[in-house]
Structure 1
Amino acid sequence: MMGMKFEGREEKHRITVMAIFLAGACFLTYYCYVVLGTGRVFTHFFYIPIILASLWWKRKGLGVAVFLAALLIFSSIFFRAEVVAANDYLRAIMFIVIAFVVATLSEQIAKAEESLRESEEKYRNLYESSKDGIAFSDMQGNLLDANQAFLDMLGYTIEEYKKLTYQQLTPKKWHKMEADILKNHTMARGYSDEYKKEYIKKDGTVFPATIRIWLIKDKQGKPIGMWAIIRDIAERKQVEEKIKQYQQILEVSERASWHFSHRILSIREEEKKILSTILHDEVGTLAVALSSSLNAIEEEIKDNNLKAALRTIVKSKTVLRKAIQRLKKTAADLRPPDLDIVGLPVALREYLSNVTKQLDLKINFSMEIDEKKVPNNVAIVLYRIVQEALNNVVKHANARNMKVRLYSLGNKIELIIRDDGKGFDTGIISGGTTIHMGIRGMREMAESVDGRFHIKSAPGKGTDIHVTLPVIEEHKLWV
């Protein structure tokens, strides 16, 4: 609105000035013809309003030239007795020609200026709206200008920014590198490749950025300054760091998965060896015994010694029954009972009861859980851990008392196993002994269902095992 008012005042001023010049031209014509009686008008004064009108109003200003040309011709006719001189016609034509030339040149200049303004405005908008920072400096590193994006990155106003040097915005550790880039790349080629560096903010903190620099040269090709495009990559660096962390986690997970798979294969091979030994010792012995008994029975029957044959058959049945019991026990050790059918409480009580009948070991078992809320895979892990812990107690602890407690705590199941055995040093669990392998196996089983395993022991102080397993989500477990 203020611009329109200013243009209106300027136009009124031009009209007023032009009116004064035209009035002056009329007076000068009257003065020369009537007062002085010279019969000739000094038309050099006429060129001033003609040129001004053409500059101000372009071709619309030709009316002033036509008016002054007409003034010259008609005044010559009215105030001079003789015929109008050819020189007056020539001057009148010159008025119009000069006005036309000036108007045409003025229009071309105005169009060029308008195009320049539009181009400048376009690049200024691009300069200011760019999300990347744009900065200008002289060859000494004095800062000349920057767009708002770069000022926002640094936290300075444009006035504060122009008082600084390029070196003041850069940590010292980058100075030598940038000097090398300026010498070997920017000065040699006129530009640099994109490179990474850091900038110092107004508050003293630094942020990472990428930058690319171009030289500014004068008409003689002499470098007079530099301009640069700067991009804040703090967020990108954070993303890169997160990706790096995820890659490290993935590598650790892959290694853990490999070790876990290797452990599973080792366990399977170990179970195969145990099964092979059992089959060889139990089944092989049974087969030899039965074969021998059958041969004896055959001989006794041939000799009509039926009583002896009957006694041999009874002994063979006893041997066979014991072998079947041992095979059932071995099968139960290798594979837990179907917990979906008998349930975890029944399976554990039966297992612990069988152990106490065979060994001089007192077991206190308590269970405070709703077995319906325990997923089958979690129940299997609990059964296996109790089984392995008891196996360690029997083989290594020489304990007389053992306590097994199973209870719910929110959405988790807690398993506590204590014994009063001889204990051991938990600092050497990484060893390769049977007890250490058993502890690693219990930990791996707990972690396979996102559980936690903790063991506390010391020589002469027994052993405490604490296991926490989730019961909300189903998990997959290879058993």
Structure 2
Amino acid sequence: MRQFGNISWRGSLLFFLLFLCCFQATARKQRVLVLHSYHQGLNWTDNISKGIQSVLEKESNVELTFEYMDTKRHSEPEYLKEFAKLYALKHQRNRFDLIIASDNNALDFVRNYYSEFFKGIPIVFCAIDQFKPDLIEGIDQVSGVTEEIDSRKTIEIALRLHPNAKQLVVINDNQTKSAILNRNNIKALWPKIDTKVKLVFLENLSIPDLIKRVKKLDPNSVIYLINFSRDKEGNFISYQENIEIIRNATNLPIYSSWEFYFGEGIVGGMLTSGFKQGALAAQIALRVLKNEDIATIPIVRTGYNSFKFDYKQMKRFGILPKQLPENSYISNRPPSIVHQYQTSLLVIVCFIVLITILLRYSKIKRDRNEKRLIKINTELDRRVAERTKELIFVNEKLELQTDQIIKQNKELEQHRHNLLELVQERTENLEEANLELKSSRDRLLRMLDANSDGVWEYNFLNEQIYISKIIWDKLGYQSVTISKTKELLRKLIHPEDLITIKQKQKLNRQGKSELFIVEFRMLTRQKEWMWFKAKGKILDYNEKGIPLNIVGTLINITQRKIAEEKINIEEKKLRLSEKRWRSLIEQASDEILIYDIDGCILDANSAACEWLGYTNEELLNLNYCEIDQSHRCSELQSYWKKLNTSNPSYSFESTQKRKDGSSFPVEIRLSLIELQDSNLILSVGNDISKRQETERKILNTVINTEESERKRFAKDLHDSIGPLLSSINLYLSTLSKVNTESDRDNIIRASVDAVNEALVSIKEISNNLSPHILNDFGLEKAIRSFTNKINLSQAINISFIAENLEERINHQVEVVIFRVVAELINNTIKHAKAKIIEINLSKEVNLLSLIYIDDGIGFDTNAINAGTSTGMGLYNVLSRIRSLNGTHKIKSNPQRGGMMVVVEINLN
């Protein structure tokens, strides 16, 4: 009974353990989403992923999912909105236990869509540059790892290792948010570094310009590479590409603060590791997944920067390891002599010990073998004697059997002779039959050759190919022998078709198919492709069922293929045109409606639905007359009737009514769509409310500017010319009252001086209205003269660089650019409180580029671009540029300060 009880207890325990294992096996894994700002394949992103995986992939109950925003190449607001829609489509129904946000754009996305996608989910961030508390404002559960590169330590060690350096050249694209922050950081810390080295920036350049500038650097320069992932035109460049470009352009020492450049040609520096940041973030995530309160976990700000140097680059520039900071990591460093040959020495010692053991073992083994051999020899002698007696008996028996074999051989020889005579007779009969078959085959081939189609034959045994002469004549080849046919076909048949032919031959050879049907291309002597269709069938098999040969016809199908290709091309063009038309309508920002001549709406794009507030189905049930508020239906129909073949389009302005009752002004352009059975109207509408508002602002500004100029001109005339003319009038009125010649001369001389002074004043007033130096000497001289006058005040320092402006350009462009520069300088002096202004004006081929930078206080550029700013100075600048069909970019930050304006005008 006790034994039974023990068995029952053990069985219950076993059942419980099995149940526990099954429960654990079916328990849901904890799901973690890693949201990357950039794309997969970027070194920085991949290193962060590896750091995260090094921690979390060790946990069996954690499942990792990776999502890439790709904002390094696409950062437009429209793209981010579409990415949010894609994220909702992919993950809104997925419940994640934790989110890891990598880099600033991913954290911004989490913060912006926190209530929609991430509410209640712990957020762990990493690689956040210039971290501030407002970056996580509104997120309930959050912690993570910042990204703070130490540019100062990298610059200090670079200058210490190169004491003869005359300038530190900072290479930076100055396009991304991070690049601008790092540039400003270097400018801020530079005065704190005790050095006479000159600080130079290479930024906002195209790749050819960068290579050109780097090649011209002073030999005593040191390069500090921050980031160059986007060139002047906005093209994305990978980290491997930009370091390779710089490395190939110069032999100067290169330093950086990013680990993904390590091993690619930089000497080293205080490097930031993406792998360590990913691992630190994953450790925080693991603590949260193990139910630790994320609010108690502090933000990590250290632990991912360290000094690293490349020994190969150190050797190039004569840098010794003892010159490096303590605990610096050195890659590619050769080992010491003892350490280098440690393995060889160990192998030698082991070999000597092994030889000693083997010699000792060999001596012991030899002694034992000698004793055993003596014993074996004795036993062998006994067995040899016994075997000798047995062999003598067997030999006598073999002699008897030999006589019998000799007799049987004579009988077999006679039988073989009879068989040879029979085989010879049958061979002669077969040769006669083969001659008849060969003659018949030759007649058949000549008959087929006479046909317009060609014939061919392939022998599987000797792999010889026969093709009739008519085919070779079509291809332009003569006198092609059978021995050369196979090699020539390999050269003439198209490589893609040759693969298909070999596959068909393999099926025929294996007996899986007795038919051979292939269409293929052959190259003529005139280097043109000719299409053929080969049809054949296996004729003969051997006794094992293996095919021996295959015969068929060869038809020229080139004309048919050309006709088929034309049909396919036309079909593709038709489909592509239809797809392009639909894509063009849907992606157009303007309102597009298609309706019949009665006004019934037949189609509408997304913009029309969005502007009018209707769904597509609702719009298709409306008549256009119900939308237009400015015209009666009869007036609209009169517009539609004006459209014909000679007048296919018509434009007018109107007001459209939305679904909610509100209205907005539009500019309508009607076009006629002529179909076989009917005509349709294509209506393209453009919202002109902003344009009208802008025109009103510009008109008011022009009026105010003209009134201000009139007042200033009147004041200048009153203050400058008025007193001079009064003096002249006084001199002339007293001229008749004087008696002496000397007094008269004095009055005339004073009058002439007053007239000359009035002329100078008039010239100055005229020069202010339109600088004569601009008209006489061009844009470069006018701007340089203007900036030199301002520099005389020493209140602000303006540097001006002009390139490729030796020849004069269009006068209208010169006037606009001069007014833009003057307005920007005036705006900086009045509002920015700046100390330095940098102006770069260059012309390359037909592109005129202006780059304007100041270090003053920042402002909101969105208000300027939208025209909602209270001041109209910068808005007028943009209007002047747009009047020349130019482009502009204004960048500024209210917190960090500074302003950059980039203007480009195509002179064509």
TM-score (norm 2): 0.23
**RCO greater where, 1 or 2, for CA within 8 Å and sep 6 or more?**
1
Structure richer in helix, relative to its length: 1
Structure whose residues are more often strand by fraction: 2
If the length of structure 1 is used for normalisation, what is the TM-score?
0.40
